[in-house]
Structure 1
């Protein structure tokens, strides 16, 4: 039975396959799998994370680690079938670990010990943030790193010079590892001029675009899956809702060239 994380620092457990072993990228470097770091920030759309995990569970060549911000955990506390507790994520065979903010520094750090946000960045081939809240978008574009998720993003290898490219036995997927985000927020927030300026940074300054040499779409590291228009949790009808979770799964399958055996 997976044990809960307790408030006392000496009893906290890193949620890596239910063990207390610290997570290191090196321990998984030769597993031959594609590594998906799936994250959720504080939005009602966090309740779609279990759907995404279930849809990806048949892919035995895919390993998944999950990051939840403190706000995101509020939506997955076992309130309903639609909102199961995060401990149920381990029912999916390819979920390697679930990480919360407090696990960044479980014990007083000593020189030579691993640093979780760096290890997760090294491990991941793709980071998908679904949902990306207005608050976390603002943090990312402003360069903040005040929780585990934003620390991973801030430490991302944006040049492709630090981490090896994502590859399997048949192909190199791309030189720069990607971050894919699915924004989710109220319509007024989505249409706000601040949001427009932040999206411009993600799509234009950091975004994946045509390479000047051959036109292939791999120049850049950020990909934005724009919201859809529907009735929002607040009752408003308009754009700002996270793109359908099935479309997010399709993007992950396409980017990783996933195929069922």
Structure 2
């Protein structure tokens, strides 16, 4: 169940008596570390109050598509981007019918159409409704489109009938939700990931650094572990918890980071997501530098180049499959393509850090991946966690192709 830690789950609550189980489901998901946002249909509100789910989730419940306050910020799009998983429990026969036809006439169905996250349905309905040909046809259509079905179970029902149609219990649904994040595309692979900024000392109290938060590199490490990889994460100074099952090495300077990476070799895949300082002061003052009245208002530092970590590792005899990052403020694709070729990389991930919505310290990202043929693959703006999983899947696929043709 550790796979649910820090995952973002949108829980849709449909209009069925099984909605009473949704309260316990929210509690279970949060117990395992997930963040939960709840959307309720009009029918769902007839069985359980929004206040109950707000208290359990810790967030206001989302109710209406045409809520002026929420939609001023395009609320349904924000929820769709935010979600790592959309879980609808209970999923009624009516709701499944509408989803199968692509109807978007309330907030929940609109979010489902707008998200690129996995969508899972926990059917809950009378046994006769479940085995009706229309419901069965809708179920098969939804499954063919990638929807995941959690259940239903067989047993006694609120109406007194016995048969298929009961919603699964909250513990079972939480386990199945966790299983949605179990991907084994990198089993047996050692992945080396760099993250965060580096710091280059000027004197004992001052240093040169940048705005990198390390969030993207840490999200990649977490996603790589989910995909079955053994992960070594070499990180500059950041304030982030170590992802579960990740071997973390803390460093300060660019030279420290290179030494740590070389010590972690060999590896199968290198992802260089760190924002490494290109230059460092030639001399580190042994004591705190004082203002010098004779120098006027200025301070002159002689800078020298740091080693190029990515290029150094990518030209080794035991060279790994090498993926770089290009954080640029202009001419994004041109600069990224040049870096790809100059450093002998297999892939490069380009992102526009001039955009505050997807730049340093932001929660979201949007990137383009460029390969050796200079073909671009775009990943639309969404959470860094989701972007990381998309990138890891993409890298795993390219790695498999490279190993097949080696």
Q: Same fold (TM over 0.5)?
A: yes
Q: Is the 8 A contact 2:83 2:115 kept in 1?
A: no
Residue 90 of structure 1 and its aligned partner are, at CA, apart by: 4.0
Structure 2 match to 1:33: 6
Match for residue 87 of structure 2 among 125, 128, 147: 128
Looking at both structures, which has the greater relative contact order when contacts are Cα pairs under 8 Å and sequence separation is at least 6? 1
Larger Rg: 2
Match for residue 96 of structure 1 among 22, 40, 59: 59
Structure 2 match to 1:162: none
Q: Is the 8 A contact 2:30 2:36 kept in 1?
A: no
> How far, CA to CA, are the matches of 1:58 and 1:245 in structure 2?
12
Show the 5 A alignment for 1:171-186. 177-186=117-126
Aligned length: 182
Q: Does 2:151 match 1:226?
A: yes
Residue 107 of structure 1 and its aligned partner are, at CA, apart by: 5.2
Match for residue 46 of structure 2 among 27, 49, 74: 74
Residue 254 of structure 1 and its aligned partner are, at CA, apart by: 3.0
Show the 5 A alignment for 1:142-161. 142-157=101-116
SS at match of 1:99: coil
Residue 239 of structure 1 and its aligned partner are, at CA, apart by: 0.9
Check 1:90–1:143 CA distance in 2 against 1; reply closer, same or farther (3 A cut). Answer: closer
Q: Is the 8 A contact 1:34 1:256 kept in 2?
A: no
Q: Is the 8 A contact 2:76 2:110 kept in 1?
A: yes
Match for residue 54 of structure 1 among 10, 20, 27: 27
RMSD: 2.6
What do residues 215-245 of structure 1 show as CA deviations (whole Å, max 9, x unaligned)?
xxxxxxx211121111111111111111222
Task: Report the TM-score, using the length of structure 1 for normalisation.
Answer: 0.63
Q: Is the 8 A contact 1:64 1:97 kept in 2?
A: no
Residue 179 of structure 1 and its aligned partner are, at CA, apart by: 0.4
Residue 256 of structure 1 and its aligned partner are, at CA, apart by: 4.2
Structure 2 match to 1:243: 168
Residue 249 of structure 1 and its aligned partner are, at CA, apart by: 1.1
Structure 1 match to 2:191: none
What do residues 27-74 of structure 1 show as CA deviations (whole Å, max 9, x unaligned)?
xxxxx93211011111111100111112223234x2110001010011
> How far, CA to CA, are the matches of 1:108 and 1:230 in structure 2?
40
> How far, CA to CA, are the matches of 1:114 and 1:108 in structure 2?
6
Q: Does 2:45 match 1:106?
A: no
SS at match of 2:62: strand
Task: Report the TM-score, using the length of structure 2 for normalisation.
Answer: 0.42
Check 1:251–1:108 CA distance in 2 against 1; reply closer, same or farther (3 A cut). Answer: closer
What do residues 104-160 of structure 1 show as CA deviations (whole Å, max 9, x unaligned)?
322597xxx421111110110100001100001010001111110011112233xxx
Q: Is the 8 A contact 2:102 2:113 kept in 1?
A: yes
List gaps (5 residues or longer) in structure 2: 183-225, 227-242, 245-406
> How far, CA to CA, are the matches of 1:38 and 1:199 in structure 2?
19
> How far, CA to CA, are the matches of 2:86 and 2:77 in structure 1?
13
SS at match of 1:57: helix
> How far, CA to CA, are the matches of 1:179 and 1:120 in structure 2?
13
